[in-house]
Structure formats: structure tokens, C-alpha cells
Chain A
Amino acid sequence: MSDRPGVEPPGPWLQPLPTEETLSNGVRLLRMHLPGQQVISARLMVPVTLADEERVHEGVSVMMARLLDEGAGDLDAEAFAAALERHGAALGASAVEGGLSVDLDVPVRHLSGALRLMADAVGRPTFPEDEVRRVLRNRLAEIDYETASAPHRAGRELIATLWDPASRAARPAAGTPSTIGALTRSAIVERHAALAAAGGALVIAGDLQGIDVREAVEGSVGEWTGSGTAAAEPAAALPRLDGHTVVVVDRPGSVQSELAIGAPAPGRADPSWAAYPVMAYLLGGSPGARIDAVLREDKGYTYGIRAAMRPRALGGSFAVTGSVRTEVTAEALDLLRGILADTVKGFSRAELATGVDFITRATPGRWATADVIADELSALTLERLPMDFPSLTLRAMRRLAPDQVTEAAAAVASSVCSTVIVGDADAIIDDVRALGIGEVHVVTD
């Protein structure tokens, strides 16, 4: 073997930038040519706010999105699915705060035909009664699954304790059993009628050599205007202001405790954003990060615990999530809280560099495929960020000083207002209470 080789630093990253134009229906067309990417990814983002859903019908936007391809244009649900499959296309749709997205992946030779189907899905869905009933029933089954799955159950409790109950963000985007149970076809039709194309964006990414994208798009999605009036403005999530909530969701006999610790945090539009992903990576982005260095590699309590930023259309949150074996629940929680608290002591320049180097150098390799790039560009439109935001952020990261990362850590550590444990309450409750984090609420499903 030779001596350990050095590493040649990478050249400057030339972020792939889309060409931009506006379609006749007011939709921004973002076109990204990627040689060799034979499957084209199209992402249509339509402005939507979930905050204006009627309280009793929450989830209507997501249900409407899921029904877009269950019958559209002149085709019933089965015929529409068959038409997509003949084109080798995969189409899906969902909604989050700020936008309804319709995602299409299709081999390049079928792009035009698949775009016409996408246009029918968004513009001429028929919402057959049978399919409405089925999709709503499947959502109820999905909620049952989410209740049984510890990470999902923790996530639901996390948003409920992180955000003010008056805020739409405190409740699941796809609705609850009572709101889904109350939904009717007419509420879904009405929701669809409120969509407006203007202010939306369509990303087309892949090997577009020799393809007349403008023509394919104008003859399909470009013809859709929507019957709504104005582009919806995204709503901010309001943090809870009543102190730290600790919730134990009781799972008798559970062999692990699922932990989730959350804090409100800035979104990507915040001027100090660049420090936050670096901070989250240094805390919980790898087996050597501060959390897993202790909880996994030293103690062997967990397969892995992650810390991550969760940006929203406006603002966002910071969350630490993962599972530990039941017997060590309180100790693991105490260690996690200690690691968060210790961030006030600061980060060395060398530690900072490991985070900045990872994120800045790994990004070019991640921006490699049509689907990833289309998702990234589409998220930028949702958050109303400029297309060169990723490269600007990397530049800002390279200029970060340790103090800025310490400040970001201090900001989230001091805002932690939510601790959720999904586990065996009898086995852990006394030790968790003894930590003195705050009043502990036990929830039984």
C-alpha cells in the first residue's frame, strides 16, 4: 500500500441553472437540460395554502391532489392509469403548505403524451364518486398505520406540541379521522375549482436535446388556467408559547422508545440560514457527529439519531429524531439534552470545517439526476427563492465563522419546546419525570 493520498480540492461548482420563461397561462417554465438523463422529470407547483382549509375539512387539499389522476379528461380512473402506463410514465401529486405539486417521470420519447395527461390531471379531473370514497378510506387506513408506526406517531405529536393550536401546521396536512370522515366529493371539487395556474411553476429536467419543450408544454399544461382567482399566499407556522411540552405516547411492551425533540427555526429565506444545515450536520448528520459519537459509537444505545432542519414555505423547524432501547430511554434523553446544551461552548474551526466541507463538496454529486434536480428547483419555487440560491448558500457556508454556528445552535437549543417519546410508559415514565424537563403528559391511542 502507498502512503495515505492527499485530496485535490474540487474546482468551483457550476450549479446547473434552468432557463426561464413564462407560459401564456402565467406559469413559470423552468427548463433544465441534463445530458444523459433519459428519464425526464416534470414538476408542476401550484400555489396553495392549507391555512384556508375549513377546520372541519382539513386535508381536503391533499385528498384533492391524490385524486387528480383517478379519472381525468375523457378517461375514467382505470383508463387514465392505463394511459400513463402505456407511456412508461409515473405520476403523483400531493400538497404541502404553499403548494400543490404534480410530479411526472417519463422516458424522453413519451414526454409530449405524458404532459397532455398531466394537463388533464391538473385541469380536468373528474373525481368519480367511487374513487373519492376509496381515496378517503385509504387515508383513514393510512392514519391507522401512522398511529401504529412509532416514527410517524412521534411526528404527529411533534407538530402538535411545536406549533400553536391555532396554526394549521399543528395538524397533519392530510387530515385527521374526523376531518377525512366529514369530506365529500363536492368539497373536493370546490377545492380544485379554487386553483389558479398563475403564479405556478413547471420544471422540466432531463436530456432535452432536440425536444421542442415550449411546444410540448404550451399544448398541454400551458393551456390550463384554473378557475381560481388569485395565487394563494403561504401561511407562517406560529410557535407555541406555553413552555416545554413533554409527551409520552404509551406503547405497552415496546422494545424501543422513539424520541423526537423539536424547536421552531428559521426557513431557508432567513439571512442566517447557511449556519443552520451545518449546525444540524455537526450535531446529528453522521455516525461521527456529536450525537451518534456518544449514543451510537460510545454507548451502543441506538442504530442512529438524526438532527435535521425542516424548512417550510415560510420559516421551519429543527428536529432531533431516532430510537433507543427502552431501558436507556431517560439516560439517552438526558444525554441528548446535554449535547444540545453544550453547543453554547462553541464549535472549533476544525469541527466547523468538517461540516462545511461535507455539505459544499457533496452537493455537486447530489445534483446529478433529473429527479433530484427537478425536486430541488421545484422546492425553490415553493419557498420563493432565487434559482441560484443553492450556490449562494454554499458560498455563504464557506465564509461561516464558528460563532455563527454556535449562535444557530444556541437559537434552536433555547427554543426547544417539544419532547415526544413513543414507548412503554410504565417502563420509562418515572425516570423521564425525574429528569425534570417539564410536566410529562401521557397519551394513550
Chain B
Amino acid sequence: MRLDYPIHERTLDNGLRVVVSPDHTVPTVAVNLWVDVGSRHESRGRTGFAHLFEHLMFQGSRNVASGEHFSALLAVGARLNATTWFDRTNYFETVPTGALDLALWLEADRHGHLLDAVNQANLDNQRDVVKEEKRQRYDNPPYGQELPDLYAALFPEGHPYAHPTIGSMADLDAATLEDVHAFYERWYGPRNTVLTLCGDVEAEDAFERVERQFGSLSSRPRPGHPIPVALAPLTEPVRLTRRADVPHDRLTIAFRLPADRTPGFLPAALALDILGGLATSRVVRRLVRGSQQALSVHSTAWGLVGGVSIGFLAIDVANGEDPDRVEAAVLSEVEDLAHAGPTSEEMQAVRAQSERGWLQALAHQDQRADLISHHTLLHDDPHAVNTHLEEVLAVTPEQIQAATTTLLRPEQRAVVAYLRAPHGAEEES
């Protein structure tokens, strides 16, 4: 089904690509910037830098004091933040309509003139904050190393996706002010950025307001990006076992999928849903409801642009059950899907759930703006918010079967086994 959110585009003389999607249902505007730099662009010895840098974007710029970006926008009723991912860094705020110019001015100041304000004290402070973020999200919680382990198992050492965005403590320690300057000058500029406005503003008016604040930012050539090299699926299984003080065993069975928006990615994502992403998925029926050897299962498919994407099934194993037997049962379900393809009931369920998921993702201006920026920056397709669902619904059972056969074979898997061990007996192998 085709949706009809309005999309207007313009590129400023300095190269900034601007997309506007008017929506007057609520008196707010979502301001959303995607910068084409993420952890995949980091160099050896500087993992975690794109994210640390994102923190510094809140510590002042030429005309804005440290912390003022947050305080000035909160004081007018904005909700704001920024995140860093493998492929990009995004900055966003949803503001009452009357504060749109202020939001654009604040963004233009830091996206154009950050280095005037960066100093050692800010870098040191935010390095400490990021280390606490790492401890809170990765080092202290149960299963905190699941994803870093998965990236390390799935990709060769040194591959752009082999390390998590949070980086390592040693690399965070190594970051210098010179790194900050070089990173900003290389990656932050109008030609490497997309700005989306979604909300209570008309297109022409929005373009004028953006021109007023961003038009004077100096134009620099678009930086050279690493050329994506397609990474083929694994040819033999990889296994990483971690014994830790966790409440139950968890298996994460991961596969290299094709790059986002290349043939095979969507069918593989839907195959993973049919296996583990629905309340009626095959692994749920067999292992969660049926034999009750597993507590739960979920599926994930992250579309990435660097020549390969990530798909996985995560299965929590019931205590007392043998994780090897659970893994074998999961693999036999994958083989069954490869052998006979999805049923018509499964196609109906996965399509209906995809529809609700996509419509809910578009329900709020801020997420809609984020999806527009995403597809504009990484896929040169601002209209994807209107066409993506049609593409999902057009995927055939034959394509899903083919993707399962070619991309989800047992020898193509990387498994992270997070197994229970008494405290003090932690180890990695």
C-alpha cells in the first residue's frame, strides 16, 4: 500500500540537502540532521570516536555556550537528542513551531562553527561521561557484551562493522583535541549532511528559514567515503562462547545479510521474522510454546550500507535445557523454511505485522523525519517513507525461501553463546 506523505526537496548552494514534509496536525516541527559519518568511518585505535564526538556537539560552538544547546531548546519546550550508529550520526529536536528558527540557528552554529568552542576540559569531561555510558550499557548489565561479541564473531578483525559504536576504553583514552579538529573538518559539512523538517511549516517557508541559518556555512567538497566492499556470507560457522554470571543461557545466531536496499536483504529480514519475530514464528511454536526449551526468541535485521548487513535470532534458553540441542532445533527450523518456503498464513502474518510496524513508525513527526533523513542520506530516496511498505508487501514467498537458502545456511552462522557460570568463573573463548 502506497502512502502519501508530502515530500519537498532542495539543495542549498553550499551542498546541504534539505527535505521538508509539512504536517499541521500538531503545532510542532521535527528538525532532523543526518551526518554521513558513523563508527564504520573510524580508524584503528580510535574506535568510539564518532560517538564521543557527538557528545562534544552539545558542549558549545561559536555563539553557543557549553550545555546551552540543551538548555536553550528545553526552555522552549523541545525534546532533543543525538545518536551514533555504524553508518551515521543523527541530531534531532522537535520544537513548538515558534521555536523553529532558534533550533535551526543552534544547529547551524554547531554544524558550521563547532571548533571555536571545543577545549580540553570539555573533551575530558565528555570522555568520562561516555565511559560511564559504556559501563552502564555494556560492562555492567547482564548480557552486556552480547552485541560487541556478535560484531567480532561475524566480521573479520578490522572490518568497519567489527567494533561497536561505543568503542574501547583504551581508544577513548587516546582521543585528542587534534583528533576532534581533524574529524570535524573531514566529516562535518553541508555536503555530508541531510536536514529534514517534518511538521507545522510550509515547504517554501521552511526552505527560506533554512537558507537564512545554513546558507552561509562554507561549502567543502564531500569527503571521500570508504568504498563499500560486498562481504560474502561466512563459509564456515564461527563460535564465540562467553561464560558469565547471567541468569540463563542465551544464544545469538547471526548472519551476514546483503547491504540494505540490495536484492535479498528484505526477503532475509522477513525470513528471520517468520523464524523468530512473530508471536506465531516457527521457533516460538517449536521451542517456546511447544517443547518449552526456550523462554523467548526475537529476530533482528539491521540494514547497513557498508557492503553487508546484520541479521540475527536471539534465543533465551530455559534453565536445565541443553543450549546445543536448542541451537540444533533452531537450525532445523531454518532448514525447513529453506526447504519448503513460508506458508500462506505466515505470509499474511508477516505482511500484516510489517504494515502495523511501519505505520506506527511514521505516526510521529520525529520518527518520520528520521526515516526521511535516513533514506535521503544513505539511499538518495526521500520518498521511501511512501514506497517502502509497498516493497515489503511485494516480497514473494519464493524470494523468502531463496534468501533462506542462500543466506541463512547453518555454515553461514556466527553464534555467540552467553552461558551461565558461577560468579568468578567468567571467561571468553
Contact = CB atoms under 8 A, between A and B. Distances in A.
B75 A107 contact: no
A204 interface: no
Contact of A365 (B96, B128, B349, B352): B96
B140 A256 contact: yes
A82 B129 contact: no
A316 to B, nearest CB: 23
A214 B296 CA distance: 37
B176 interface: no
A370 B213 contact: no
Given A86-B349, A137-B318, A297-B125, A364 B140 contact: no
Interface stretch (B8-16, B102-110, B372-380): B102-110
A1 interface: yes
Contact of B216 (A1, A34, A293): A1
Interface in B170-211: none
A311 interface: no
Contact of A10 (B58, B96, B212): B96
A195 B411 CA distance: 52
Contact of B27 (A298, A354, A364): A364
Contacts of A85: 278-280, 348-349, 352-353
Nearest to B279: A81
A389 interface: no
Interface in A343-368: 353-354, 357-368
Main secondary structure of the interface of A (DSSP, over half): mixed
Interface residues of B, number: 80
Contacts of A177: none
B102 A4 contact: yes
Nearest to A2: B212
Interface in B120-172: 124-133, 135-136, 139-142
A299 B121 CA distance: 11
Interface residues of A, number: 81
Interface string B77-106: 111000000000000001111110110110
Contact of B105 (A1, A288, A296): A1
A354 B349 contact: no
Given A2-B213, A39-B360, A323-B136, A365 B102 contact: no
Given A365-B26, A370-B363, 19 more contacts: A4-B102, A6-B101, A38-B363, A77-B289, A85-B279, A107-B355, A145-B248, A149-B142, A254-B140, A256-B140, A287-B67, A297-B67, A297-B125, A300-B126, A357-B75, A360-B77, A364-B96, A365-B96, A365-B365
Interface of B: 23, 25-28, 58, 63, 66-67, 70-71, 74-79, 94-99, 101-102, 104-105, 108-109, 112-113, 124-133, 135-136, 139-142, 212-213, 216, 245-248, 278-280, 285, 288-289, 292, 295-296, 316, 318-319, 345, 348-349, 352-353, 355-356, 359-360, 363-365, 423-424
Interface of A: 1-2, 4-11, 34-39, 77-78, 81-82, 84-90, 105-107, 110, 130-131, 133-134, 137-138, 141, 144-145, 147-150, 252-256, 286-288, 293, 296-303, 323-325, 353-354, 357-371
6 residue pairs, one from A and one from B, having the closest CB atoms: A361-B77, A300-B128, A8-B98, A88-B352, A144-B247, A5-B101
